[in-house]
Amino acid sequence: MTATTGVAPARYSWGGDEFVFVELAEEMSLQANYRAMAITKKLSEARPDGVLEICPANASYQVRFDPDVLEPAELLALLQDLERQVGDAHELALPTRVLEIPVLYRDPWTTETLMRFRDRHQDPDATDIEYAARINGYPSVDDFIAAHSGSPWFTSMVGFVAGLPFKFQMVPRERQIVVPKYLRPRTDTPKQTVGYGGCFSCIYSVRGAGGYQMFGITPAPIYDPSQTLPDFTDFMVLFRPADIVKFTPIDRERYDELLAEVEGGTFHVKARPVEFHLQSFLDDPDGYNARLLEVLK
């Protein structure tokens, strides 16, 4: 069936008796992610009885539903209708936020961790960030850090574990950083590690196993199940799908200052409301990004 013009029709598949999975595109793009955001936003607003979970993801989304309340065929028709309404979503203005995340790149903790797992890595003689810089054609790690922190990132999905954001680089594809995951996953990753796998950057919300390359660490808490820190009074997870993130490199001295603020209960992530418009971004990515990030000044 053709539900929209200009974009390939989505692929719908049942996940047992309680889930429907919808793939908008096989490959990752901001356009596909934006359609997932737009469709799931409309569905959240309509929230028909029987819809239990609405999970936007990178180039797909899923809905958990109660088929005793909402007939699967009825839900499918509704989702296909939303797909038609949303179309390519290029003109949709999405209210979201810009957040600034300070990053200590090449920090001692991820460095210590990555050294313990060199036998699972593509390049045992280099660090993760040296490897990533090299295979992406950057002359130095500093140049690589400048690229990683130079343009904003779009939170294309929150998940894997509680509160972990996947971030997609807001630059044309030919400039996107791509790094394979570890050959075999590590059994340990420090909390708040800034990682990279495929075309996604992420921030590990909890300590644990992981397969993404480790570039640095942020002092900013992103998950607080006890909800004692100031950024978490409303909810225990910092990131929401569609949040736009600017990574800001910091040195060790600044890291220690910010960590002291976190421990003193006074730290806040700088967050500002913005409205994102996909077509304006696609027309002039660098100019649009520069305007977006002005709210942080």
Partner 1 sequence: MIAPELIEVVKPGLSTTVQDAGRTGYYHLGIPPSGALDQYSLRAANLLVGNPAGAAVLEAVYMGPELAFAADAVVAVTGAAMVPKVNGAEQPIWESFPVSAGDVLSFAYLTAGARAYIAVSGGIDVPEVLGSRSTYALGALGGFSGRPLAAGDRLPVGAAPPASPGRSVPADLRPNLAKDVEVRVVMGLYDHRLTAAGRATFLDTTWDLTPVADRIGFRYAGPELETVPREPPFGAGQDPSNIVDAPYPIGSIQVPGSVEPIILHRDAVSGGGYMMIATVLSGDLDVVAQSAPKTRTRFVEVDLDGALAARADHRKRTRRLAEALAG
Alpha helices (H) in 124-196, listed in sequence order: 128-135, 141-150
100 in contact with partner 1 (CB under 8 A): no
State the minimum distance, in angstroms, from the CB of residue 265 to partner 1.
Answer: 19
Determine the interface stretch with partner 1 among 49-57, 126-134, 250-258, 269-277 (rule: CB under 8 A): 49-57
296 in contact with partner 1 (CB under 8 A): no
Determine the interface stretch with partner 1 among 55-63, 84-92, 115-123, 257-265 (rule: CB under 8 A): 55-63
Cβ proximity to partner 1: between 44 and 140 the closer is 44
Q: Which of 64, 84, 134, 270 binds partner 1 (CB under 8 A)?
A: 64
Q: Is 196 exposed, middle or buried, given 0-12, 13-18 or 19+ CB atoms closer than 10 A?
A: buried
229 in contact with partner 1 (CB under 8 A): no
Are the C-beta atoms of 36 and 59 separated by less than 8 Å?
yes
Residue 5: count other Cβ atoms within 10 Å of its Cβ. 8
163 in contact with partner 1 (CB under 8 A): yes
61 in contact with partner 1 (CB under 8 A): yes
> Rule CB under 8 A: which of 108-127 touch partner 1?
none
Hey, what are 87's tokens? 């179309």
* Of the candidates 189, 179, 170, 200, the residue with the CA atom closest to the CA atom of residue 57: 200
Cβ proximity to partner 1: between 116 and 207 the closer is 207
Determine the interface stretch with partner 1 among 80-88, 114-122, 144-152, 200-208 (rule: CB under 8 A): 200-208
Cβ proximity to partner 1: between 239 and 247 the closer is 239
Question: Which whole-number Å values give the CA distances from 94 to 82, 91, 278, 281, in the listed order?
Answer: 16, 9, 9, 12
Burial code (b: 16+ CB inside 10 Å, e: under 16) for 66-100 equals eeeebeeeebeebbbebbeebbbbbebeeebbbbb
